[in-house]
Structure formats: structure tokens, C-alpha cells
Structure 1
Amino acid sequence: MKKLFSSIFLIFCLLLLFYSSHMYYTLYRFNPTNVVQNIKYISSDQFKGRLPGTLENQEIATYINSELKKSGLKPYKGNEFQNFKVKYPKTIKGSPYLKVSGKDGILIKDFVYSKDFKEDMVNFRTNHLTFNKSNVTAITKDYIKVSTADGPFILFVPPNDDLSFRSSFISGSKYNMYIMVTNQSLTRLKDLIGKDNTVDCFVPYEVSQTTVSNVMGYLEGTDTFSPPIIISAHFDHIGTDLNGTIYSGALDNASGLSFMLEMSKCLTSLGKPNRSILFIGFNAEEFGCLGSSQFITKYKAYIKNSKIFNFDMIGSNNPIPLCIMGAKNDTTKMPFIKSISKICESEKIFFNYLFEDASDHESFRKQNIDAITFCDNDMTRIHTPKDTYDHISLPAIERCYNVASNAIVKCTFKDDLIILYYKECFLISIIGILIFSLLYNRSTKNT
């Protein structure tokens, strides 16, 4: 009987060793350096800020599709791309100007583009504004509000008097056009308007309509009845200004996209999951999370009980905590958020919470679908030309991976203990074989 038990024990340990070592050698290991190299490529000048509606944005969508295919992912519901229409700011002919003329039409002041004034990208329902003091509805130390027959406009001083910041484009926003001016320029404008001069402003953009795409890659699980776990990141950014300055968007959000692509390689190398996994590159997040909203509109029936792991701004080199971001009405007591925070605590990860409708998790939470965004909430360079790949940190990327991979694998491979604990299984099998060898040697000596 003892010999039978010993034989069964040895066979068990050998099988455990075989499967765990096989997993160890076939598993694709997440490489933060690969993530940084991909961030460098996606945020390079070649793609000119990835503004939806541009050729460069389409090229990135094609690139994502190619990378997801390399990971062995398939179309979702027969589709690699989900196409949808958006309004976007299209550059037109002409040079921007902001100038002031007297009653006789003689030019008094010609402000310098990007030094004295600059467009903010929020909207361009009207791109030409002419007004005098009769059109002014409000003046403060920070802004001038104007109303003409064409609609409402605002000229304002941006935070820190910095004209380099560029907002997201929101076609339904309050004002027809948003013009940033420096403190000095605003003071000068107030004085000139008060003397009943005429202000004339033109910005060569117009709101146009185009078709853009989300990109999807699907890894089918054994449980085809449960909705998929969704891993996502947006890939669009805010393009270039009228001087051709590129807003690279390395942290926001070449980082989240590159993280997702590297994660796809890891998860597909584990084999067929218990629960299906859907990878999505969302477009037009910078236009108001339009890509995720369009996705839910089309696929809501299939994802009601999904869990969404979204990645937006991963890898800041500033010493800040990893942020678990929920929607504005979420709390730390929600089960999904609590489960992630427990992993952070067990891994001794420096983290905090943020509850804002500030990324693609918003669209899912509005439909009461579990969703969070992992982010490094570092706003020091976001939406400026300074958001470049050389500010990305390898340890910060790895920190996020340690938390996210733990949570995702538990959701998707929940019944496969060897996948979940292959390192522990390998160690247990080695210890078991050593114990068997020791006992066997003792019994041999005794006989």
C-alpha cells in the first residue's frame, strides 16, 4: 500500500513538474521595454498626433489590427473594425489671425499666433469672429465672452498663461469657438474694445464629418455563454497645431495602447481561457469617448455582465501612485473596485482612487457594466507638446502589469490552477520529488 501511495505521489509530482515547467517555458513574458519601444513608435512624428479624421489615425488603426492578428486574435462577431461617423476639426486654407482695427478700418494691433493667441481645439462651429463692445456679454480678469449673430464665443487666458495646452474636441460644446490669449493680450484687448474698436479673428479649421474605426481582437474561451472580459485603450490623440507642432500623446495614450498590445501577447500564450477575452483599441476618446459609446450601442446585448479593464496613461516617470479610476458616482466599496484594491494591497503597490468620467470606462458605467481605468494621473505634460516617450518609466509600467495581470488572469483562467499558480506548482513539484527521493533512499538503506 505504501509503495502504491509513493508511486502515485511521484507520478503526481512529475506531472505537476511537466505542466508547470511547460507553462514556464512557453509563456510569453510581459516586457516593459517592448511597451516603451511601441510607445516611441506610436507617438512618433510619423503619426502627427493621431487626430481622428486624419490618415495617420487610420494608419494606427491598421497597425493595431496587424499586432492583434500577430497575437493570434480573431475578429469579434465577424468584425476586426467597427466603423462609425464623427465630426472632427478639419484644417482649411488660410492663416490664423487676431487683429484690431479702428472705426476708419486702419489696423491698430495685429496679435502674433502662438505668442499672443492661439485656438483651443474644443470647437469650430464658426471659424471667423468679428465683434466690438456691443457684442461683449461679459468681461473678467480671465476672459471675454462675446455673442454675435453667429453664436457665442469666448477668448480666455489658459492656466499658467500657457498657450501650448490643447483641449479635446467636443462638437456639442457651449461656444462656437474658443480662443486662448495671454494675460497681456487680454489686457490689451480690453483696452482696445473699450475704445470702440473692432476685433477680427479667424482660425482655419472647420467642423467636418468623417468615418473612423475602433479595432477589435477576440480570444474565445471555453465558456461561450459568459460575456467576454474586455481589455481596452484608446489610440487617438489631438493632432497638430497650425504651426505644425505635433502633440505626440505618449503617455496619453500611446502608453495604454502599447500596454494592451503587450498584454495580448501574454494572455494568448497561456492557451484557451475559461472566459473569452476581447481586446479593443477605442477611437475618438478625445472627442468625448465616442468610440466606446459606439461600441456599447452596437454590442450591448453581448457585454451586459462583462468586466472592463481600460488603460489610459500608464508609465509616468513622476513619483505618483497607480490610480484605480471609476466613474464619478462609483465608490471604493464597489465589489469590482474593491477586488482590484485588494490586489494592490497584497502586492504592496502604491495606489489611490479617482472617480471621474474621464476615460472610456465612463461609457460602460453609464450602462451599469463593471469597468475601471488604470492610469498614472500625471497631468503635468498632458495635451501639450511635452508629452513624449522619454518621460515614460519602465517600473511604472511593470507596476501596473503586476496588478492588472493578476486580476485579468483570475477572471479569465479561473479554473486552471496551473496557469494561475504555475510558479508555485513548479516549486511544489520539485519539493515533492526531493521528499520522495529522500524517503526512498531511507527505505532502501533500511532494507
Structure 2
Amino acid sequence: MKKLMSSISLIFCLLLLFYSVHMYYTLYRFNPTNVYQNIKYISSDQFKGRLPGTLENQEIATYINTELKKIGLKPYKGKEFQNFKIKYPKIIKGSPYLKVSGKDGSLIKDFVYSKDFKEDMVNFRTNHLTFNKSNVTAINKDYIKVSTTVGPFILFVPPNNNLSFRSSFINGAKYNMYIMVTKDALAGLKTLIANNNTVDCFIPYEVSETNINNVMGYLEGSDTSSPPIIASAHFDHIGTDLNGTIYNGALDNASGISFILEMSKYLTSLGKPNRSILFIGFNAEEFGCLGSTQFITKYKTDIAKSKVFNFDMIGSNNNIPLCIMGAKKDTAKTPFIKSISNTCKSENIFFNYLFEDASDHEGFRKQNIDAITFCDNDMTRIHTPKDTYDHISLTAIERCYDVASKAIVKCTFKDDFIILYYKKCFLISIIGILIFSLLYKRSNKNL
């Protein structure tokens, strides 16, 4: 009996060794350096900040599609791209100015662009503003609010008196145009306005309409009746200013899209999953999550019971925890969030929570679809020209992978033990073979 049990155990360990070695040699090994190189490329000056509506944004969409096809992913429901219309801020001819004239039309003050004032990207329903003190509706130490016959405007001092920060474009925003000014410039304007002078401001942007794309790659599972697991990230950013300063958007969010491109290589190397995986590059997140909204609207019935793993800002080199971001209505006890946090704990990952409608998980949660965003919540350089690839950490990238890959595999491969723990299986099989070989030999001697 002992000999039989030893034989069975030995065979089991040999099979375990075979499968674990097979996994070792066939699995694609996630490489954070590849993520870094992709971040460097996508956030390079060549693509001028990837503003939706620009040629450079479309070039990145095409690049992502090419990479997904190289990996072997297929179109989703026959489509590689999801096309949709947006309104976007388009640069037009002319130079920006903010100047003040006297009653006789003579120039009193000509403020300097990017030194004294600068556009904020929020809106450009109107790009030309002329007013005097009769148009001022509110004024304090931080702003001047103006109302003219064409609508409301605001001139304001940005946080830290820093003109380099650039907000997202929101076409339906309250004011026709948002103009950032320094504290000194605001103080000067107040005095000049009080003396019945006229302020004239022009910012050469206009709101234009165009078509842009989400990008989709599909790994079909054996159970096509189940909705897909979704891995997503947005790839757009906020473009350039009128001096040509590029907002490269390395952390936000060349990092997220580069992350899922690399992780998709690992997931496809595992073979055919039980549950399909859909990889999506969302566009126009910076315009109010428009790409994810369009996707949800079109495919709502197909994804009603999906689980969404979104990636936004992965790889900060500041020593901060990995953040599990849920929607405002979520808590740490929300089942999907709790399952991810348990994976973090099992992997000894330093993490925290954030509950905000601040990325592409928002639209899914509003439809009661399980969704979270993995994020390194480092706002120190976000939406400034300092968000560049040289601030990316390979360690932080790998940390996110350790959690996200295991969480996705658990959803797509039915908790396949060997896939999840093939390295441990290899060690267990070696130890088992040694032990049961010894027991088998002893049982032979005792016969």
C-alpha cells in the first residue's frame, strides 16, 4: 500500500513538474522596462501631448492598434476602433494677448503671455473678451468674474500662482473662457479696471468638431456566453500651449496604456482563457471620460456583468502606496474592491483607497458594473510640462502588475493554481519528487 501511495504521489509530482516547467518556458514574462520604453515613446515630443482631435492623437490610436494586433488580439465584435464625435479646442491663427486701453484707445498695459497670463483649457466657447468695470459681476483676491452680451468669463489666479498647470477641456463648462493670471497681474487689472479702462483679451483657440477613436483588442475565451473581463486605460492627454510647450503626460496616462500593452502579452501567453478579455484604449478621458462613456453606451448589454480593471497613472517614482480607486458611492467593503484589496494583502503590497469619479471607472460604476482604477495617486507633476518619462519607476510598475495580473487571472482562468503559482508548483514538485522517490526506494527494499 505504501509503495502504491508513493508511486501515485511521485507521478503527481512529476506531472506537476511537467506543467510548471511548461508554464515557465511558454509564459511571457512581464517586463517593466518594456513598459518604461513605451511610456517614453508615447509621451515623446513627437506626439505633442496627444490632445484628442489632433493628428498626433490619431497616430497613437493607430500605434496601439498595431501593437494589439502584433500580440494576436482580434477585433471586438468586428471592430478594432470605436469611432465617435467630439468637440475639442483647436488652435487657430493669431497671437494671444491681454491688454488694457484707456478711454482714448491708447495702450496702457500689455501683459505677457505665459509670464502674466495664460489660457486654461476648460473651455473656449468664445475666444475674444472685451470688458470694463460695468461688466464685472464679482471680484476678490483670487478672481474677476465678467459677464458680457456673449456670456460669462473668469480671470483667476491658479493654485500656487503657477501658470503651468492645465485643466481638462470640458465643453459644457460654466464660463465661456477661463484665463489664468498671476497675483500681480490680477492686482494690476483691478486697479486699471477701477479707473474705467477697457480690458481686451484674445486666445487663439476655437471649439471644433471631429471624429476620434477608442481602440479595442479581444482575447476570446472558451465561455463566450459570459461578458468579458475588461482591462483599460486612456491614452489621450492635453496637448501643447500657445508657446508650443508640450504637456507630455507620461504618468497621465502613457503609463496606463503602456502597462496594459505589456500585460496583454503575458495574459495571451497563458492560452485560451475561460472568460474572454477585452483590452481597450479609451480616448478623450481628459474631456470628461467621453471615450468610456461612448463605449458603455454602445455595448451596455454585452458588458452588464463584466469586471473592469482600469489603469490610470501607474509608475510614480514618489514613495506612495498603490491606490485602489472606486467610485464615490463605493467603500472598502464593496465586494469587487474587497477582493482586490485581499490580493494586495496576500502579495504584501502597500496600498490605500480612493473613492472618486475621477477616471474611466466612473461610467461603469454608474451602470452598476464592477470597476476599479489602479493608480499611483501622485499629483505633483500632473497636467504640467514636468510629467515626463524620467519620473517613472520600474518598481512601482511591477508592484501594480503583481496585483493586477493575479486579480485578472483569477477572473479569467477559474483560479487555475498552476497558472497563478507555477514557480511555487515547481519547487513543491521538486521537493515532492525527492521525498516520494526516497519513500518508493524504501518500500522496494522492504519487499
Give the alignment's TM-score, normalised by structure 2.
0.98
Partner amino acid, structure 2, of 1:296: I
Partner amino acid, structure 2, of 1:301: T
Following TM superposition, by how much is the alpha carbon of 1:102 offset from its aligned partner in structure 2, in angstroms?
0.3
Aligned residues of 2:6 and 2:437 also touching (Cα < 8 A): no
Q: Name the structure 2 match of 1:182.
A: 182
Partner amino acid, structure 1, of 2:443: S
Tell me the SS of whatever aligns to 2:342. helix
Tell me the SS of whatever aligns to 2:134. helix
Partner amino acid, structure 1, of 2:124: F
| Partner Cα distance (2:53, 2:358) in 1 | 22
Following TM superposition, by how much is the alpha carbon of 1:81 offset from its aligned partner in structure 2, in angstroms?
0.2
Alignment of 1:365-444 (within 5 A): 365-444=365-444
| Partner Cα distance (2:444, 2:342) in 1 | 49
Partner amino acid, structure 2, of 1:331: T
Indicate yes or no: 2:327 matched with 1:333: no
Q: Name the structure 1 match of 2:241.
A: 241
Partner amino acid, structure 1, of 2:281: G
Which shows bigger deviation, 82-91 or 427-436? Answer: 427-436
| Partner Cα distance (2:240, 2:317) in 1 | 24
Deviations 1:160-198 (A, max 9, x none): 100000000000000000000000000000000000000
Aligned residues of 1:324 and 1:352 also touching (Cα < 8 A): yes
Aligned residues of 2:122 and 2:169 also touching (Cα < 8 A): yes
| Partner Cα distance (1:326, 1:436) in 2 | 48
| Partner Cα distance (1:279, 1:310) in 2 | 10
Alignment of 1:262-341 (within 5 A): 262-341=262-341
Partner amino acid, structure 1, of 2:427: L
Tell me the SS of whatever aligns to 2:46. helix
Tell me the SS of whatever aligns to 2:217. strand
| Partner Cα distance (1:2, 1:368) in 2 | 55
Q: What is the aligned-residue identity percentage?
A: 86
Alignment of 1:24-103 (within 5 A): 24-103=24-103
Following TM superposition, by how much is the alpha carbon of 1:223 offset from its aligned partner in structure 2, in angstroms?
1.1
Deviations 1:104-160 (A, max 9, x none): 000000000000000000000000000000000000100000000110000000001
| Partner Cα distance (1:329, 1:435) in 2 | 53
Following TM superposition, by how much is the alpha carbon of 1:63 offset from its aligned partner in structure 2, in angstroms?
0.6
Following TM superposition, by how much is the alpha carbon of 1:405 offset from its aligned partner in structure 2, in angstroms?
1.1
Following TM superposition, by how much is the alpha carbon of 1:370 offset from its aligned partner in structure 2, in angstroms?
0.6
| Partner Cα distance (2:343, 2:11) in 1 | 34
Following TM superposition, by how much is the alpha carbon of 1:330 offset from its aligned partner in structure 2, in angstroms?
1.1
Partner amino acid, structure 2, of 1:171: N
Q: What is the aligned length?
A: 447
| Partner Cα distance (2:223, 2:336) in 1 | 21
Partner amino acid, structure 2, of 1:150: V
Tell me the SS of whatever aligns to 1:333. coil
| Partner Cα distance (2:385, 2:401) in 1 | 27
Tell me the SS of whatever aligns to 2:57. helix
Give the alignment's TM-score, normalised by structure 1.
0.98
Following TM superposition, by how much is the alpha carbon of 1:444 offset from its aligned partner in structure 2, in angstroms?
4.0
RMSD: 1.1
Deviations 1:212-268 (A, max 9, x none): 000000001111111000000000000000000000000000011111111100100
Partner amino acid, structure 1, of 2:259: F
| Partner Cα distance (1:32, 1:392) in 2 | 10
Indicate yes or no: 2:230 matched with 1:230: yes
Q: Name the structure 2 match of 1:363.
A: 363
Following TM superposition, by how much is the alpha carbon of 1:436 offset from its aligned partner in structure 2, in angstroms?
2.3
Q: Name the structure 1 match of 2:12.
A: 12
Aligned residues of 1:274 and 1:415 also touching (Cα < 8 A): no
Partner amino acid, structure 1, of 2:180: M
| Partner Cα distance (2:382, 2:10) in 1 | 57
Alignment of 1:165-244 (within 5 A): 165-244=165-244
| Partner Cα distance (2:308, 2:446) in 1 | 60
Following TM superposition, by how much is the alpha carbon of 1:325 offset from its aligned partner in structure 2, in angstroms?
0.4
Tell me the SS of whatever aligns to 1:254. helix
Aligned residues of 2:33 and 2:394 also touching (Cα < 8 A): yes
Deviations 1:317-342 (A, max 9, x none): 11111111011111111000111111
| Partner Cα distance (1:400, 1:385) in 2 | 25
Aligned residues of 2:139 and 2:145 also touching (Cα < 8 A): yes
Structure 1 segments unaligned to the other structure (5+ residues):
none
| Partner Cα distance (1:446, 1:328) in 2 | 69
| Partner Cα distance (1:444, 1:4) in 2 | 11
Following TM superposition, by how much is the alpha carbon of 1:285 offset from its aligned partner in structure 2, in angstroms?
0.1
Deviations 1:53-112 (A, max 9, x none): 001000000110011111111000000000000000000000000000001000000000
| Partner Cα distance (1:410, 1:135) in 2 | 61
Partner amino acid, structure 1, of 2:350: F
Tell me the SS of whatever aligns to 2:201. strand
Aligned residues of 2:10 and 2:437 also touching (Cα < 8 A): no
Deviations 1:371-411 (A, max 9, x none): 00000111100000000000011111111111111111111
Following TM superposition, by how much is the alpha carbon of 1:4 offset from its aligned partner in structure 2, in angstroms?
4.4
